């Protein structure tokens, strides 16, 4: 597979999934967006296991947009497991959440998130946030190869 690397959106709210897809499209971002609905599925996707075992050998997404309040396994634990594994420890992870709680912010950074973005309330602000996220993480930012090996 040699196309643009995907964005993995980990979000359980279908309205937020739709809003995020529309905002990224409107912002002109053309990367494919894969969506998983809970923390267990997010880890299965990233580590190519369970229902996502067919992904073995495929590249990791270019960016993970991770909600914190997820069923089965919350975003904090997902982030902790991403950072604990050599294959994903340098994968860019942006927390995209409606939480305004300082403990979520501090805990997210303590577990290694790359950025913490509170979901804007208005659609136009969300589109602008998506544009800025896309420009920074998908165009300007250079991430090390998977596992950090050169």
**9-139 topology per CATH:** Rossmann fold (3.40.50)
Residue spans per domain, the chain: 9-139
How confident is the prediction for the chain on average, in pLDDT?
Answer: 91
Please indicate, yes or no, whether the overall pTM of this predicted structure exceeds 0.75: yes
Mean pLDDT of 5-9: 93
48-106: per-residue pLDDT in tens? 999 999 999 999 999 999 999 999 999 999 999 999 999 999 999 999 999 999 999 99
Q: DSSP character for 11?
A: -
* Tens-place pLDDT, residues 99-118: 999 999 999 999 999 999 99
Please count the residues of the chain: 150
DSSP for 32-101, written as a single string: -EEEE-SHHHHHHHHTT-GGGGGGTTSPPPSEEEE-SS-SSS-HHHHHHHHHHSTTTTTS-EEEEES---
Q: What is the DSSP letter of 36?
A: E
């Amino acid at each position: 597979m040699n196309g643009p690397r995907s964005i993995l959106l980990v979000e359980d709210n279908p309205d937020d999934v739709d809003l995020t897809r529309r905002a990224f499209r409107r912002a002109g971002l053309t990367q494919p967006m894969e969506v998983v609905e809970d923390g267990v599925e997010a880890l299965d996707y990233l580590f190519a296991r369970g229902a996502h075992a067919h992904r073995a050998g495929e590249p990791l997404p270019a960016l993970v947009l991770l909600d914190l309040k997820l069923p089965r396994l919350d975003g904090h634990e997902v982030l902790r497991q991403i950072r604990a594994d050599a294959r994903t420890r340098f994968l860019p992870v942006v927390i995209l959440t409606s939480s305004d709680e300082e403990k979520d912010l501090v805990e997210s950074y303590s577990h290694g998130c790359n950025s913490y973005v509170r979901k804007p309330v208005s659609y136009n602000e969300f589109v602008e946030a998506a544009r800025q996220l896309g420009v920074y993480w998908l165009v300007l930012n250079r991430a090390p190869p998977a596992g950090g090996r050169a």
